[in-house]
Amino acid sequence: MQIRYKNNLLEKVLIGVNALTAAAVTASFAALFGFDEPQLPARILYAAQAVLLCVFIAEKTIRLFNAVSKREFWRGNWFEIPLLLALLISVVGAGRWFYKNEPQTVRHFAVGIYLVLQVVSKLCRTCVNLAASGKSPTRTLIASFLILIIGGAGLLCLPKASTGESASFVDALFTATSATCVTGLIVRDTGKDFSLMGQLIILFLIQLGGLGIVMFGAVFALLLGQALSLRESVAMQDLLSTRTLSRIGHMIAFIFIGTILIEAVGAVSIFGMWNDVPGWAGDVHKQWYYSIFHSISAFCNAGFSLFSKSFISYDRSWSIYAVICPLIILGGLGFSVLYDLANIAVERIKRFYKKCFHTQSMLSIEAPTRMRLQTKIVLSASLSLIVLGALAILLFERYAGGSDTDSNTGILEALFQSITARTAGFNTIKISALSASSKLVLILLMFIGGSPGSTAGGIKTVTLVVVIMTVYANLRKREEVEMFKRSIRVVVVGRAVTITLLFVAVLFGASLALSITENANGFTMSDIMFEAGSALGTVGLTTGITPFLTTAGKLVIIATMLIGRLGPLTLLAALTFNLKPAQYNYPDEAIIVG
């Protein structure tokens, strides 16, 4: 919701003050809780937070008087009233009406909560406003990822984020990039080397990176009752790749509610899984924490695990295949497909209800909703890749493994690796023990990735199908690419071919760079290509070379993960946003290809 102001220059000054104040708030919390001992006396830091609180309140007051319409301002900031009221009750009432033993603790906690909510709300709304500013939304998307990565790396560098020695900036940057890009490659053991604070930072980055901070900004606005403006809706439509502008609010609400619901069901379903392996020493709270962490990591296709060997110790647990696999698949299908399936399911239920209980309205029932072409392609391609990938891995491990491999891969293990290789990055078998043929299959699956609009990387399933059907159409001498009795536009075909070629170029470029930087380590080219493919596909599987990469090699993987999450075409679109299409065409001339 855009609020109009009388003095635009004053508004720009307030925006700058907000940015500096938010940075100061973050620094104060880092100084208080990020070190073994506060870098400044606690009373000074708490006093600084009280001053920052006054700055935020003064900023809101100035904006109220600067607003063209006071009613418009209060409609956009109505939530400030209950927040300030709760803050006032906590500050005044502590020691008088409640918590009489340590009133200062309540006051500091209330001020801290208010400051955190202010910083989060301003950051989210800023991202949405930038996306709707008329500039390239992809640039806003890239900037939001970079801010998340750099901010997360800074927090992971804090001593309290690690259990032992503090992480170096490169290792922290690598971990933050892997979490934000929902990859799962690690240079430090997540469960052992990071403290609870560090693990929560990683989990926060996974959730924000999986859905996108711009999406959270829109969700935050809708939760607070702030309607998106037309420009904001158009920007969200571009980022979500949706067709209809009128359903943007419904789509955003579905993504948020669906994510919370799926992750909650997943966490509850795997709660008892940790007792399946002898040696589990955690209590109920630890069980819930592990369940929530791995449920979010699975649905966001992040592949981060609190176990050093991922799920190898749980390869016989039914929850791995009945819960983790569905979470990975749902996260990799894409929100537009899930939205379409949900609408079809609701429509079918309504039709069934009318047929059974309202027979008099049978004649008024509309024709059933058709499944979108996108959904048909995604479902058929995902199922085919899962089955073919599992069969290929099982076949190659049985007959091409050789005597030097000890993977002992069964049907369930092959199925799990086929599912996780395209999206998540968990593993129930040792990847380095697989045959060279199986590793090549995994590289291909990682290169393909998940589906458009999902948390997965790769060229995407729809891109693969379009390229295959383009070849098929040429072999059949068809002028148009056809799927499910529908024609595909030429511009979509060109986009699919461009994405595929760019991903191939990045894969070979990253492999070449790693072969140079890791020359002294003596890694095989197979391991290097596997590592590059895993980073580019934002998968997270590794043959075990990630912790031993040189600093230059880690930087190459960081860049590859970022490119894989955003997509080479997105980066090129951001760079060429201001280029205008040519208004002329040259005469054509026949050439020979093939």
**572-587: pLDDT as tens digits:** 665 555 556 667 777 8
- At residue 433 the predicted structure's pLDDT band, cuts being 50, 70 and 90, is confident
* pLDDT of 450 higher than 90: no
Tokens of 177: 């990039």
Q: Which amino acid is at 242?
A: T
Residues with Cβ < 8 Å from 535, sequence gap 6 or more?
183, 185, 510, 557, 560, 561, 564
Whether 567 is covered by a domain: the verdict is no
Whether 15 is covered by a domain: the verdict is yes
Confidence (pLDDT) at 44: 86
* pLDDT of 223 higher than 80: no
CA dist., res. 267 & res. 203, Å (int):
14
Task: Give the pTM.
Answer: 0.85
The region of weakest confidence among 25-39, 282-296, 391-405 is 391-405
Confidence (pLDDT) at 34: 80
Confidence (pLDDT) at 236: 55
Confidence (pLDDT) at 239: 54
Average pLDDT in the 375-403 region?
Answer: 86
More confident residue, 507 or 105: 507
| Cα–Cα nearest to 293, from 280, 306, 275 | 306
Confidence (pLDDT) at 590: 77
Whether 579 is covered by a domain: the verdict is no
| Cα–Cα nearest to 169, from 192, 189, 151 | 151
Confidence (pLDDT) at 363: 56
* pLDDT of 134 higher than 70: no
- At residue 229 the predicted structure's pLDDT band, cuts being 50, 70 and 90, is low
| Cα–Cα nearest to 260, from 296, 305, 307, 212 | 296
Confidence (pLDDT) at 512: 94
* pLDDT of 150 higher than 60: yes
Report the SS3 class of residue 481.
strand
Confidence (pLDDT) at 553: 92
Whether 524 is covered by a domain: the verdict is no
Confidence (pLDDT) at 254: 81
Confidence (pLDDT) at 221: 57
Residues with Cβ < 8 Å from 22, sequence gap 6 or more?
118, 119, 122, 123
Whether 98 is covered by a domain: the verdict is yes
* pLDDT of 1 higher than 80: no
State the total domains in the chain.
1
Write the pLDDT tens digit of every residue in 183-217: 888 899 888 889 888 999 999 899 888 776 556 55
* pLDDT of 384 higher than 90: yes
Q: Which long-range contacts (CB under 8 A, 24 or more apart) does 544-553 make?
A: 544/431, 544/432, 545/518, 545/521, 546/185, 546/186, 546/187, 547/186, 547/187, 547/188, 548/521, 549/187, 549/517, 549/518, 549/521, 550/517, 550/518, 550/520, 550/521, 551/170, 552/517, 553/514, 553/517, 553/518
Whether 421 is covered by a domain: the verdict is no
The most confident of the ranges 53-57, 116-120, 318-322, 324-328 is 324-328
* pLDDT of 486 higher than 80: yes
* pLDDT of 554 higher than 60: yes
Average pLDDT in the 485-493 region?
Answer: 85
More confident residue, 225 or 123: 123
- At residue 510 the predicted structure's pLDDT band, cuts being 50, 70 and 90, is very high
- At residue 436 the predicted structure's pLDDT band, cuts being 50, 70 and 90, is confident
Confidence (pLDDT) at 129: 65
Whether 88 is covered by a domain: the verdict is yes
* Mean residue pLDDT across the chain: 81
* Structural domain containing residue 50: 1-130
Confidence (pLDDT) at 218: 59
* pLDDT of 64 higher than 60: yes
Report the SS3 class of residue 273.
helix
Write the pLDDT tens digit of every residue in 512-549: 999 999 888 888 898 999 999 999 988 888 888 988 99
CA dist., res. 187 & res. 197, Å (int):
18
- At residue 172 the predicted structure's pLDDT band, cuts being 50, 70 and 90, is very high
Whether 455 is covered by a domain: the verdict is no
